[in-house]
Amino acid sequence: MKSILYAAALMVGMFGVVSNASAYASLAIDSNQGSRWGYSYDYDNAYDADQRALNECGQGCRVVKNFATGCGAYAADQSYGGTAYGWGTASSEHQAKNIALKYCRQYGGTECIVRVWACNSY
């Protein structure tokens, strides 16, 4: 038993402790059809990620999506009076954008565009 514990301690010393690192990201907009947005990625916690996205977007903005790891996207209908929107998270930018657009259209959007997106490094 002693040799097993010693071997385990030696391996941790050699390779370091394995952790499940998460990076937090946030997406913020002023409105579905507004002109301002903000994003953040690779933050250690959700609060700091939210604050960064809100600061980048400016006064009157709100966080519309936050996520850990991977990519996220937010899409909104740009037709006159349109209120449909969608968001998606995935392992790639392309997938996240497609999911967001799909949900925007599914909820009635006719002129959906991706308003903001971001990807974490890990």
What phi and psi values does residue 75 have, to the nearest 5 degrees? -120, 150
Q: How far apart are CA 69 and CA 16, in angstroms?
A: 22
Q: How far apart are CA 82 and CA 69, in angstroms?
A: 31
- State the distance between the two ends of the chain, measured CA to CA, in whole angstroms: 37
Tens digits of residue pLDDT in 35-47: 999 999 999 999 9
User: Amino acid identity, residue 97?
Assistant: K
Sequence ranges of the domains in the chain: 22-119
Task: Count CB neighbours of 94 within 10 A.
Answer: 12
Model pTM score: 0.79
> What confidence category does residue 69 fall into, taking pLDDT thresholds of 50, 70 and 90?
confident
